[in-house]
Chain A
Amino acid sequence: MELYLQFGHGMKALTLDLAKKWNGASVILSPRDMTTDQLTAWSKDFEKAGVECYFDPQCYCPKSELKRLVQYGYWDCNLNTNLQAGDTTIDKQIKEIKRYNDIANTKVYILPSILNNYDPEWANRFISQSKRFIEAAHKVMNDKPVFTTLALPKDFLVQSEATIEPVLQEILELDVNGYYVIAEALDRKYLIDNPMWLSNVLHICATLKIAGKKVIYGYGNHQLLPISLLKADAMASGTWQNVRSFTNRFVDLDEQKRKSTWVYYPEALSEYKLSFMDWAFNNGYLLSMKSKDKDFLDESINKIFQSSVPPSATGFSETDAFKHYLCCLKHQIYLLNKQSYKEAFESYEVLLTTAEREIERLEKGGVYAQARSFKNFIDVNRAAITRLNQNHGFALGMSWKSM
């Protein structure tokens, strides 16, 4: 599995910076966060820097008033999309989306999808919409792979596997090369405390992968690392929470209140506020939060660990925190890319056990990750991977080399 960048507010410089550091990168562009002129200009910059682009049309919430997104040709002037209208309109919109893909010289086409609330008719509506987009796409998008977007509402993701099954069978029959999976977060939370949600996300993605389809998981974060265990092709993540988890509150970031700087400690799968890092510094715990694996120690985090002053006085910025998070996530994904499913599964179990131990150790020293502690999510992830193993462990083991 690879890490893709989920483009968000103010991410251009960081994307170029990370592409330089990583010797190339893949980014899923976000029309919500760039004007059409910026798309044209930045795509050229990205291409020069070896950044492979994808274009997410972001039609999830047609009623949203997103000042940049509405400038795009597939969005109508009433701040609404026509994606639920007749075929002719869909054909036009798909052509427009293709035009933006051409501008960005994308690797694959990502088709739009609306995030509808879950109700008994949701599946029929969702499959029928998806088929219409796909049908329109096949008329004009024939020069590269086509991915359909699975915008899965939160209430669907906590249904029983038996309820999910017929929908999954319909999804598998869609005539596409791959799936861009968007899972709506429960209660708009960053980390999800319901094992059903995560287990179903893993179940859906594993089924698609075992069936030989490509899977890109969008708007992900470190809680979704177990999608490595099903050899998803990529997980996309980004800077702010609105590109690390997906909610139906699909708004411009500049309307959101900015909060503290959080520093990711990969061994604990937790993020710590800079103020708590200062506290750890004063109490002699900071150096114990320095990763043993030097590949987690990028130049951003080294500002903290190679300094004799408290972290907040080192100039460690929000951008540094984002960069550090993404570098760590990329390395954690790399560490889970194993020769066999069994090895990957065992490595992930070790990762959880280590995080559990580290969180406990730091808490004994009074160092707390507060709202971004992974403490209450370790069991959620354990439960979800246990179910993944029961459901698909054998098939993943058998298919691993060919996936």
Chain B
Amino acid sequence: MLIGELIKKYPSLKVIKTYPESGQKWVYLVDTDAYGVVMLKIIKRMDERIQREIDIVNQNDIPGVPKIKEISSFQHNGIEHHYLFEEYIDGETLTDVFKRGPLNLQQSLKLFEGLLIVVAKLESLGIVHRDIKPDNIICAKNGSYCLIDFGIARNLNLTSLTLTAVAVGPHTPGYGAPELFQYNKTKINSRADLFSIGVVIYQAIFGKHPFITGKEADLNEVWYRTATVTPQDYLIPGDTDSQLIGLIQTLMQKQVSKRPPSAQKALEWYYTVLGTLSI
């Protein structure tokens, strides 16, 4: 195991937890002298996509995204292996939280604001996350929220790594915006992330997915419902002018042109809406 090689390099390193192996990385929770408790990710094989994922987080100070403490590599059997230490967020995924029920309004608003701030920052850097979903949101024990996994993020300033011939861009069905699997995967922007935020916040407040019932026969039905079903309007206590639900619905509009013109604008609108709530 490569972790053994790293322990030779960092004798005081202690493995606290081993996470299930993924296709691209081995992931551990470790205790180190230099950084305390951090995530250790050993890259199985460095490629352009992983390099970009690391660069996005490492080269930019993005609020609400775990920071990379160190990136390095070591030789083993003549092969170079890259690894990184990343800030550990003590908490659980939003998926696990949702299993206990919806968030209360205060928590939902905090999540909403946090995600909009992250996406507005990403927008200013020309980055689209493309995979905002409960699995990729960590609810920290201190009440804050972090967005993780930039594995399929797209840097709009660089050429796409997805083959042009591939009809469907990378995304998670049910959370990915219609343009990611329909007509416009080559021309996406931060408004695709706004769609996903809308879905997550709807789920956080109402405890149910806006489009998916769980009874879909296949992926095509999930896509079909995402592209066609208008989420039901519910009353949100304190949202007397229906501004909060209006904003959430606007984020989830099927066509990009009906969503806010930018993530920055969406964030501004969020603060305007916040002022209308009686809470």
Chain A to chain B: the 5 pairs with minimum beta-carbon distance, closest first: A394-B246, A207-B257, A165-B255, A394-B250, A398-B269
CB contact under 8 A between A168 and B249, given known A398-B269, A398-B272: no
Closest Cβ of chain B to A398, distance in Å, is 5
**B9: CB under 8 A from chain A?**
no
Contacts of A116 in B (CB 8 A): none
Residue A155 lies at the interface, judged by CB distance under 8 Å to chain B? no
Q: How far is the CB of A279 from chain B (nearest CB, A)?
A: 47
Q: Name the one of B183, B260, B261 contacting A166, with C-beta atoms under 8 angstroms.
A: B183
Given A166-B183, A394-B250, A398-B272: A211 touches B255 (CB 8 Å cut-off): no
Residues A166 and B258 in contact in the complex (CB < 8 Å), given A391-B253, A398-B269, A398-B272? no
B256 sits at the interface (CB 8 A) = yes
Which size bracket describes the interface of A in this complex? Answer: 20 to 34
Query: Are B255 and A162 touching (Cβ within 8 A)?
Result: yes
Shortest beta-carbon distance from A122 to chain B in Å:
16
| Interface membership of B12, Cβ < 8 A | no
Per the 8 Å Cβ criterion, residues 48-93 of A in contact with B are none
Contacts A212-B261, A395-B258, A395-B260; A166 near B184 (Cβ below 8 A):
yes
Q: How far is the CB of B69 from chain A (nearest CB, A)?
A: 40
B141 within 8 A of A: no
Q: Are B254 and A172 in contact (CB under 8 A)?
A: no
Q: Does A45 lie at the interface of the complex (its beta carbon under 8 Å from any beta carbon of B)? A: no
Q: In the complex the two chains form, is A394's CB within 8 Å of B261's CB?
A: no
A163-189 contacts to B, CB under 8 A, are 165-166, 168-169, 172
Q: List 14 A-B contacts (CB under 8 A).
A: A162-B254, A165-B183, A168-B255, A169-B187, A172-B257, A211-B261, A212-B261, A391-B253, A391-B258, A392-B258, A394-B249, A395-B261, A398-B260, A398-B268
One digit per residue, 1 when the CB lies within 8 angstroms of any chain B CB and 0 when it does not, for chain A 354-398 equals 000000000000000000000000000000000000011111011
Q: Say yes or no: is A295 at the interface (Cβ < 8 Å to chain B).
A: no
CB distance from A198 to the nearest CB of B (A): 17
* Residues of B with C-beta under 8 A to A172: 257
**Cβ of A102 under 8 Å from chain B:** no
Q: CA separation between A392 and B246, bound complex, in Å?
A: 10
Size of the B side of the interface (Cβ < 8 Å), in residues, is 20
Contacts of B253 in A (CB 8 A): 391
Main secondary structure of the interface of B (DSSP, over half): helix
Residues of A within 8 A of B247 (CB): 394
Asked if A210 lies at the interface with its beta carbon under 8 angstroms from chain B, I say yes
How long is the Cα–Cα vector from A111 to B141 in the complex, in angstroms?
58
Chain A interface residues toward B at CB < 8 A: 161-162, 165-166, 168-169, 172, 203, 207, 210-212, 391-395, 397-399
A353 CB → nearest B CB, Å: 23
CA distance in complex: A398, B253 (Å): 16
Most buried by A among B183, B243, B255, B265: B255
| Chain A residue at smallest Cβ distance from B251 | A394
B248 nearest CB neighbor, chain A only? A394
Q: Which residues of B contact A211 (CB under 8 A)?
A: 261
Give the complex CA separation of A9 and B37 in angstroms: 80
A165 touches B249 (CB 8 A): no
How far in angstroms is the closest Cβ of chain B from A180? Answer: 19
Report the minimum CB–CB distance from B217 to chain A (whole Å).
23
Nearest chain B CB to A207 CB, angstrom units: 4
The CA-CA distance from A274 to B210 in the complex, in Å, is: 56
Question: Nearest Cβ in chain B — how far from A403, in angstroms?
Answer: 11
Known A-B contacts: A162-B183, A394-B250, A398-B260. Give 15 more (CB < 8 A). A161-B255, A162-B254, A165-B184, A165-B256, A166-B184, A172-B257, A203-B257, A207-B257, A207-B258, A211-B261, A212-B261, A393-B246, A394-B247, A395-B250, A395-B260
**Which residues of B are found within 8 Å of A210, using beta-carbon distances?**
261
Min distance, Cβ B214 to any Cβ of chain A, angstroms: 26
Chain B nearest CB from A257 CB (Å) reads 41
Nearest CB of B to A116, in Å: 21
